[in-house]
Amino acid sequence: MKVFVTGAAGFIGSHLCQRLVGMGCHVIGLDNFDSFYDPEVKRRNLSSLMGSTQFDFAEADIRDEHVLHRIMADPIDVVVHLAAKAGVRPSIEDPMGYQDVNIRGTMEVLESARGFGVRKVIFASSSSVYGNNRKVPFSETDNVDNPISPYAATKKAGELLCYTYTHLYDMSITC
């Protein structure tokens, strides 16, 4: 199985890539090493994978359609979309930056997947979509219609885009 993982150098992404390679999957990872988390830590996260014949890596941005097209032109079985501009508080200072990366970037990933016939996509949302919900633990049936930060709103928008692509293009997308 060939799996494309965006946000591959983060904590979750790197561990997922390691697990997938360990299961015998061929993994293509992509990350732009955004400085919200220390880029050197992210490089260390990937260090054990970099010599593997089962792992290829592209240092690039999810908004770069040319890179996405180049990766997906060689048939991909599943896209795991973890990449995002992270951080609730910083999103209040830079809402347009968050919209650009998290919404436009997700659109680029979905459009590329659709265009190259990738039928399965997994999208990583965020617990921030639950807003001021005081009920703990959260449930997937809880209301998520009132985000309280631009970051949360972009992750909710990503969920809605995934739902739309599932409906319009018969893609199997899990959020």
- Quick count: other Cβ atoms within 10 Å of Cβ 55? 21
What is the signed CA dihedral for 109, 92, 8, 107, rounded to 10 degrees? 0
Please tell me which residue in 98, 130, 151, 165 is annotated as part of the active site. Answer: 151
CA 68, 27, 52, 82 dihedral sign is positive
How would you label 147-169 residue by residue, b for 16+ Cβ within 10 Å and e otherwise? Answer: bebbbbbbbbbbbebbeebeeee
Ranges of H-type helices in 58-149:
65-73, 88-93, 95-98, 105-115
Is 98 one of the annotated active-site residues of the chain? no
CA distance 139 to 98: 25
Indicate which residues carry an active-site annotation.
151
